[in-house]
């Protein structure tokens, strides 16, 4: 599999659920969902059409990363202020 | 037959104009409207002017930017596509049925009153100047699209959101394997709509 660029949070959650769930009598469902995962994991090449879902997933990832970074920065600032006291 | 919230965009699509086009698209979609353009579908089978006429017929609103009529350095001739499409839009309004007569247009230029030197017949219309500044264009589009009873956030709020979108665009394009300098019209629309769906504006509590 090529470079993995489009693993989104819901997809990761789906993959995690595969690992820990029992699939007795749910093979078709498992296959369908794995096909979706494979489709999302296929790397895009320049010039490929980007779907709205892919664009949303990427912007969601960026938003979550930025929010996390802002929170970490805030916590670090708080820690530094507490240290000064 | 016109579609309620369709906005026909009549503007150049060259690289120099790209920041203004992106700002116009963002403002249109953030205000809850849909942008229409001759470039929305790549279909070599449809004659370009027919495609433009069809889209104008379907759009009750039109944004016409006539700021790029300078002489082309290679041919030494001006570009007349934008004034031509503005003429088609005004013709539809003048000679069309009731829904066509209800069309509204926003005419943009880079400087105020400059149009009087090259297109004096449109003097008397309310023409807005964006000064080639994307954030001014965002505010102009917002003010034009905001008609009672619809409430749309102020132009400055949309401009701030546009700034945030711009700051994520390079990273987003890299993740999607897109070259930000070579985006097609549909790429631009997909990115704008994708970002807006992930970052909807909501009233502050």
With pLDDT > 70 as the criterion, what percentage of chain B qualifies?
A: 94
Write out residues 6-25 of A within 8 Å (CB-CB) of B.
Answer: 6
Q: Do A48 and B177 touch (CB under 8 A)?
A: yes
Residue B4, pLDDT > 90, answer no
**Mean local confidence (pLDDT), A41-48:** 48
Residues of B in contact with A51 (CB under 8 A): 190
pLDDT averaged over chain A? 68
Of A5, A48, A52, the CB nearest to B175: A5
| Helix/strand/coil for B82 | helix
Q: Do B190 and A51 touch (CB under 8 A)?
A: yes
**Mean local confidence (pLDDT), B74-79:** 80
Q: Do B194 and A52 touch (CB under 8 A)?
A: yes
**8 A C-beta contact, residue B6 and residue B36:** yes
Query: Distance between CA B93 and CA B100 in Å, rounded?
Result: 5
- pLDDT confidence band for A36 (50 / 70 / 90): low
The tens digit of pLDDT for each residue in B143-194 reads 999 877 778 889 999 999 999 999 999 999 998 888 888 888 888 999 999 9
Residue positions counted in chain B: 205
Residues of B in contact with A60 (CB under 8 A): 198
Residues of B in contact with A48 (CB under 8 A): 177
Q: Please give the C-alpha separations between residue B120 and each of B112, B114, B202, in angstroms, as whole numbers.
A: 13, 9, 43
């Amino acid at each position: 599999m090529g470079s993995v660029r489009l693993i989104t949070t819901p997809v990761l959650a789906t993959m995690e659920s595969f690992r820990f769930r029992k699939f007795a009598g749910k093979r078709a469902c498992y296959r369908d969902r794995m096909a979706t995962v494979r489709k999302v994991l296929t790397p895009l090449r320049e010039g490929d059409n980007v779907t709205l879902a892919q664009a949303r997933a990427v912007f969601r990832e960026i938003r979550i990363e930025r929010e996390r970074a802002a929170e970490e920065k805030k916590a670090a600032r708080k820690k530094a202020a507490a240290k000064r006291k | 037959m016109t579609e309620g919230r369709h906005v026909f965009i009549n503007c150049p699509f060259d690289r120099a104009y790209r920041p203004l086009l992106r700002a116009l698209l963002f403002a249109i979609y953030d205000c809850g409207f849909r942008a229409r353009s001759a470039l929305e579908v790549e279909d070599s089978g449809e004659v370009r002017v027919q495609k433009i006429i069809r889209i104008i017929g379907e759009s009750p609103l039109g944004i016409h930017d006539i700021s790029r009529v300078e002489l082309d350095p290679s041919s030494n001739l001006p570009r007349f596509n934008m004034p031509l499409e503005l003429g088609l839009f005004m013709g539809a309004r003048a000679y069309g049925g009731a829904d066509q007569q209800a069309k509204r247009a926003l005419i943009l230029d880079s400087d105020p009153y400059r149009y009087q030197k090259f297109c004096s017949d449109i003097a008397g219309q309310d023409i807005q100047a964006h000064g080639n500044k994307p954030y001014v264009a965002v505010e102009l589009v917002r003010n034009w699209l905001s008609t009672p009873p619809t409430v749309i956030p102020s132009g400055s709020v949309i401009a701030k959101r546009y700034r945030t979108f711009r700051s994520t665009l390079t990273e987003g394009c890299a993740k999607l394997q897109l070259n930000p300098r070579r985006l097609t019209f549909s790429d631009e629309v997909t990115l704008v709509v994708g970002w807006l769906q992930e970052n909807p504006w909501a009233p502050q509590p």
